[in-house]
Amino acid sequence: MLFQRHYAGTAPCSPARACLYTGLYQMNNRVCRNGTPLDDRHDNIARAARRAGYDPTLFGYTDVAPDPRNHAPADPFLRTYEGVLPGFTTRQLLPEHQKAWLSWLAARGIDSSAGFPAVHRPAASDAPEVSNAVPAYSTDETPTAFLVGEFLRWLGEQDEGEPWFAHVSFLSPHPPFIVPEPFNTMYDPAEGPGYHRASTVDAEKAHHPFLAYHLEHHQNKSGFIPGAAGKVADWTEDEFRRIRALYYGMISEVDAQLGRMWKGIKDKGVWDDTIIILTSDHAEMMGDHFMLGKGGWFDGSYHIPLIIRAPGCAQAAGTKVDRFTSAVDIMPTLLDLIGGKALPHLDGQSLKPFLDNAVPDTWRDAAFWEYDFRSIAKGTAEAHFGLGSRALNLSVVRTETVKYVHFGAGLPPLLYDLANDPGETRNLADDPAWLSVRLESAERLLAWRARHLDQSLALSELTDAGAVGHLARLP
């Protein structure tokens, strides 16, 4: 079953994954940036799966900064945000430095002594910054292929009839934009849709103070192409299109490796008993609004894939759901499918009714997400805007036809007519003709935030008869 309107809870990686793993919106899990610790008091998908009798096993990464209150100050765990979600057994860790993959390549005779960028250096010395030159490794030697191989080896070790749970988390598609044959030339840069953006970078910056800041400070070429210099906004239309073609190729490379996974599961004889949830933490701007990466409020950063296949739900095969779903729905859905129990204070809802060809009596009629752009370590954003960290955030409510963006303080709101401006290029927040829509959207957003304030203890009460409500049902 394909969920066509599935949205991340926030961006970038760590905050988005906190929503995915805890079933809580950012306003409750409070993971604001890469490096914000995840409070250990929160339940998560791995711990809940353990309570249901599984040994959740990780291949890849989870990007979870540990709660520093549980570690000594000198603990190396506190030097990186690329920690492992508590509850997972780690079979093959593969964070962004990719060292396990690099050593695997070295064992296969591929020189990786100079590190990750050297492996990706184009073969032609005169190659442009954005190149489809063939890397030093083949399609059978990508980080994705390496991780799938480790999963299949582990799968072969699982005892017949015993339950298993794997979280296979690929870095790709992700910068640097390099992929082997045939994927490097699979897509024509000249093809594909036009970009959603203003006529010039300066016009885009004039759209909102946040965009001016983001395009100036967080769109550096070196963050996307090793060895490149200058701002992303300096790139030409042709370069953006070549990046997009490579990105599409990276998606297809992952798809090919997923096919290899599905074959391995079938060869094991457990395909008909296996739940598969295919999704992402966040999306990718890929040139819209002259941006790469993720952040802000545009759909391009938050509209993510979700496909679910579950035993006993054959009637769902090949069908599509057009309702708004969220990353926070994944944890309660998975627990519902494996016979576990989601705690009642979670912000997400189980999607199993859709898989059973039933529409829940009550379901959200809009998507909601958040984005926090504070900079605790360097204070860059705080200095630029002249605001405290607590003000540097935004919340979004998106219906079928309207999107409203509200900032914490000090920055103006945004309002878009998605029916006539799907590219989000015209801000109508100050248009008198749209004032009633703006007020209605603000009220909807306020009601959403009020309804989803932390309910972990608020759904309980101590009485003469003892604890009632949520507390009485804690595992």
Nearest CA-CA partner of 217 in 383, 415, 102, 78: 383
Nearest-10 crossing angle of helices 143-155, 99-107: 90
Nearest-10 crossing angle of helices 330-338, 13-22: 40
Nearest CA-CA partner of 429 in 442, 416, 420: 416
Neighbouring C-alpha atoms within 13 Å toward the C-beta of 235: 29
Asked if 320 and 355 touch (Cβ cutoff 8 Å), the reply is no
Q: What are phi and psi of 241, to 5 degrees?
A: -70, -35
Residue 301: both structure tokens together: 């950063």
- To the query of whether residue 19 is one of the catalytic residues in this protein, the response is no
Set 13, 19, 32, 313: catalytic member: 13
Nearest CA-CA partner of 199 in 423, 413, 416, 418: 423
Coil/strand/helix, residue 360: coil
Which strands make up the sheet holding 402-407, listed edge to edge? 367-372, 393-398, 402-407, 414-417
The answer to whether the Cα torsion of 347, 293, 210, 303 is positive or negative is: negative
Residue 460, C-beta contacts closer than 8 angstroms, at least 6 positions apart: 467, 468, 469, 470, 471, 472
Residue 355: both structure tokens together: 């898989």
Residue 181, C-beta contacts closer than 8 angstroms, at least 6 positions apart: 134, 138, 139
Asked if 394 and 405 touch (Cβ cutoff 8 Å), the reply is yes
Tell me the catalytic residues.
Answer: 13
